[in-house]
Amino acid sequence: MKRQFIFFSVLFLFLSCTKKEKIDTFPFDEFVFASEALHSVFCIKFTKSDTVYYHRIFPEPVENSYAVINLEEKGELNKLLRETNFEKFDTVYANHVIEDAQTYLINISNLGKRKSIYLYAGEAPKELDRFIKSLGEIKGKLHFIPTNKKVDFGDLKSILPAPPPPMPVKKVN
């Protein structure tokens, strides 16, 4: 009986010491990426959960959808976010001489702090360009399912097209 107890104790010790796969937690409370181009406007929201939200604004119809990110994709995303030091970047990179160029907006929320990075007309630092390309590859792997759920994507004013001017009012004599 004593030998069995020692055997199982040693076996338990070895089994509990095996290498466990480390899964990094999501580094932000929320991470929203938005893109506006001539033929499309969308935003995508990542949170600490395994659900990713997508909001297509243009072309019509406006649509909300979601995808469940698998463990491999989540690890890839977490690594990408941890390797990019967003604090070192300015809040605006824009070339206002060019019109109708690609626009990106990154909104980060963590522990009550918010940071936005606005990118317009290819003025992003190379590190942010690589980040955006990698994020696009992750987005391309996701399979989005339409939903009626309302999702808060935060402040998108800087990327949304301006509303049309009001219609002229005719004076009645």
Number of folded domains in the chain? Answer: 1
**Cβ density class 39-78: b for 16+ within 10 Å, e for less:** eebbbbbbbeeeebbbbbbeeeeeebbbbebeeebbebbb
Does residue 39 fall inside a structural domain?
yes
The percent of residues in the chain predicted with pLDDT above 90, rounded, is 57
Q: Which of 6-10, 38-42, 90-94, 144-148 is least confident? A: 6-10
Confidence band for 170, pLDDT divided at 50, 70 and 90: confident
Residue 20 pLDDT > 50: no
CA pair distance 9, 5, nearest whole angstrom: 6
Does residue 154 fall inside a structural domain?
no
**Domain extent for 131:** 23-147
Does residue 33 fall inside a structural domain?
yes
Does residue 126 fall inside a structural domain?
yes
Does residue 171 fall inside a structural domain?
no
Q: What is the CATH number of the domain that holds 42?
A: 3.30.1560
Residue range 45-103, pLDDT digits in tens: 999 999 999 999 988 899 999 999 999 999 999 999 999 999 999 999 988 788 778 89
Does residue 94 fall inside a structural domain?
yes
